[in-house]
Amino acid sequence: MRAPASLETKVLVASRNAKKLEEMRRILAEQMTAVEVVGLDDVAPFEEPVEDQPTFEGNALLKARAGVAATGLPTLADDSGLCVDALNGMPGVLSARWSGPPKSDERNNELLLAQLHDVPDERRTAHFVCAVAVVHPDGREIVVEGRMDGHVVREVRGTGGFGYDVLFVAADRPGVTTAELSREDKDAISHRGKALREVAPLVAQLLSASS
Sign of the alpha-carbon torsion through 80, 83, 89, 91: negative
Q: What is the DSSP string of 117-175?
A: TT--GGG-EEEEEEEEEEE-TTS-EEEEEEEEEEEE-SS---SSS-GGGGGEEETTSTT
User: Is 164 annotated among the ligand-binding residues?
Assistant: yes
Is 79 catalytic? The answer is: yes
**Residue 192 annotated in ligand binding:** yes
Does 163 appear as a known binding residue?
Answer: yes
- 59 annotated ligand binder: no
Tell me: is residue 172 an annotated ligand-binding position.
no
Task: Judge whether 79 is annotated as a binding position.
Answer: yes
Give the integer Cα–Cα distance in Å for 85 and 134.
Answer: 29
Rounded CA separation 141/199 (Å): 11
Residue 162 annotated as binding site: yes
17 is in an annotated binding site: yes
Find out whether 103 is annotated in a ligand binding site: no
Distance between CA atoms of residues 57 and 133, nearest Å: 7
At 199, which helix (H) or strand (E)?
helix 191-210
Active-site residue (options: 41, 52, 78, 79): 79
Binding positions for Mg(2+) are 79
Binding positions are 15-20, 79-80, 162-165, 186, 191-192
Hey, which residues are catalytic here? 79
Binding positions for substrate are 15-20, 80, 162-165, 186, 191-192
